[in-house]
Amino acid sequence: MRAPDFSAACPVPIGQYPHVLLAHGGGGTLMHQLLENVFGRAFSNPILDTHHDSAQFTVPACRLAMTTDSYVVRPIFFPGGDIGSMAIHGTVNDLAMSGARPLYLSCGFIIEEGLPMESLWRVVCSMRDAAVKCGVQIVTGDTKVVDKGKGDGLYINTTGIGVIEHEQIISPQNVQPGDVVIVSGDLGRHGMAIMAVREGLQFEADIESDSAPVHEPVLQLIKSGIEIHCLRDLTRGGLASALNEIAESAGVKIAVEQKSIPVREDVHAACEMLGLDPLHVANEGRFVAFVAARDAARALKILRGFEVSADAALIGRIAEKSAPLVVLKSELGVGRILDMPSGEQLPRIC
């Protein structure tokens, strides 16, 4: 479907309503103008345009995957993305971790009174563009406006539905000794991009978020017959949390090598400045894959053929069935336990 043409300016008459008002969520004329002129204009498609209380659609006769997530990032615009594109990417990526092809999304908006209408339009346009790029349709949604001071600008909730068109069971319980651990790219950029803006930090080069959809490389791995046992996206808690979650679910010991884990120098420096471990920092376009050892070389070649996973690296292996444990071998050859973060190191980054 060809995306409709849009003007750069917000279609709501901002000369009269430059900011979101409580009345824009009150069920009357202003709310209908907001729904029609902003959300309807940006997300228009045959399913959404029925203006019904629920979306009706047909899916292929196969397994479905469904996920939901909420986005509360502050600030809502950051280098490399914004809350809108991140909401689309995050939900698409959650579906991809089941090996699902994403199809349909719902979006719920909690808007704080006083949010500039131009800012809302920028976010909505960003979501539209991200959805088109990902090949998904936004088919239903909801909008609420809360009192000034009660919403921190904008929160977004998205739910996604995808189809699983293969026979593999991609699950933590399928991880087994001998599997290799592959990370899809460099780590820590999203969290550091947010912190740089939030704290006014200046680096020699701007650090941009890695926010991006990863479903295409995942689907290509499956299409190519790679035996995938588990996938996990590296959002809150970063690589450390993901590995510990998998170790716990599968009852295994995971051994990884620090020198093999890709972290950019500027990100490493920023983490050192803030006293953070890049392995604990959130990402929005990275995942870890547990695949059969015999498929390791092919999997890396496939991943490196996509821009979003061009820096994919083999970082470790499943050592054995055991009490859940993640061991990190340092560049000096010393092993240490890589724990899950005890709390939220960087609040409000996704």
pTM of the model: 0.93
- Give the span between the Cα atoms of 229 and 254, in whole angstroms: 14
CA distances from 22 to 40, 141, 144, 217 (A): 19, 18, 9, 43
pLDDT score, position 283: 96
pLDDT score, position 42: 95
- Quick one: pLDDT band at residue 14, thresholds 50, 70, 90? low
47-61, 121-135, 175-189: the lowest-pLDDT one: 47-61
Interval 263-277 mean pLDDT = 91
What is the residue type of 98?
Answer: S
- Give the span between the Cα atoms of 246 and 242, in whole angstroms: 6
Look-up of token digits 């203006």: 51
- Quick one: pLDDT band at residue 199, thresholds 50, 70, 90? confident
* Whether pLDDT at 143 is above 90: yes
- Calculate the average pLDDT of the chain: 93
pLDDT score, position 59: 86
Among 43-47, 148-152, 196-200, top mean pLDDT goes to 43-47
- Quick one: pLDDT band at residue 9, thresholds 50, 70, 90? confident
* E-strand stretches of the chain: 63-71, 77-78, 81-82, 101-112, 137-146, 154-164, 180-183, 228-233, 252-257, 287-291, 313-321, 325-329, 335-337
pLDDT score, position 1: 42
* Whether pLDDT at 313 is above 50: yes
* Whether pLDDT at 200 is above 90: no
Q: How would you classify the pairing of strands 63-71 and 154-164?
A: antiparallel
Share of the chain above pLDDT 70, in %: 96
Q: H/E element holding 84?
A: helix 83-96
DSSP conformation letters of 90-111: HHHHHHHTTTPEEEEEEEEEEE
Interval 212-222 mean pLDDT = 98
CA angle, 299 then 301 then 303, to 5°: 70
- Give the span between the Cα atoms of 288 and 318, in whole angstroms: 13
* Whether pLDDT at 7 is above 60: no
Which of 138, 283, 301, 140 minimizes the C-alpha distance to 214? 283
Interval 38-65 mean pLDDT = 93
pLDDT score, position 3: 46
pLDDT score, position 333: 86
pLDDT score, position 298: 98
Which of 141, 350, 134 minimizes the C-alpha distance to 238? 350
Under 8 Å between Cβ of 124 and 10: no
pLDDT score, position 318: 97
Which CATH class, in words, describes the domain spanning 22-164? alpha beta
Which of 215, 226, 80 minimizes the C-alpha distance to 136? 215
Per domain, the residue ranges of the chain are 22-164, 172-337
Under 8 Å between Cβ of 285 and 185: yes
Higher pLDDT, 151 or 153: 153
Share of the chain above pLDDT 90, in %: 82
User: Helix, strand, or coil here: 61?
Assistant: coil
Interval 181-206 mean pLDDT = 88
- Give the span between the Cα atoms of 6 and 128, in whole angstroms: 11
51-55, 106-110, 174-178: the lowest-pLDDT one: 51-55
The two three-digit tokens of residue 279, written as one number: 């392995």
Which CATH class, in words, describes the domain spanning 172-337? alpha beta
pLDDT in tens, 236-267: 899 999 999 999 999 999 999 999 999 999 99
Which of 248, 116, 236, 261 minimizes the C-alpha distance to 181? 261
* Whether pLDDT at 6 is above 60: no
- Give the span between the Cα atoms of 60 and 5, in whole angstroms: 31
pLDDT score, position 175: 97
Which of 270, 262, 244, 247 minimizes the C-alpha distance to 313? 262
Under 8 Å between Cβ of 349 and 76: no
pLDDT score, position 111: 98
